[in-house]
Amino acid sequence: MSRRRVSIKDLGEADCQGWLQRRKDGRSFLGGKWKRFWFVLKKSSLYWYGDKMAEKAEGFINLCGFSIEQATGCRKRQYD
């Protein structure tokens, strides 16, 4: 099974999760637009979904070999 076909429920308890902004690729002069996604970090895998109950991930990044730490501040508006 592809890692992008994993539902949030199938991941089980996440190490960290929440709303983040991701810039969608665009061909306009100013670049792509920012869109809100639900991100889930599970071990060394980062998934993003269109909403909290999605059945399929929009994308996946393997973070093996990277160092991950929580940010101390936020410059943008936070979502519930």
Task: For strands 16-23 and 45-49, give the pairing.
Answer: unpaired
pLDDT of residue 49: 95
Q: What is the pLDDT of residues 17-65, one digit of tens each?
A: 999 988 877 666 666 788 899 999 999 999 999 999 898 999 999 999 9
Sign, CA dihedral 65-75-22-10, equals: positive
∠ Cα 36 33 9 (to 5°): 25
66 in Cβ contact with 12 (< 8 Å): no
Q: Regarding predicted confidence, which is higher, 7 or 27?
A: 7
pLDDT of residue 73: 73
Instruction: Indicate whether this model's pTM tops 0.85.
Output: no
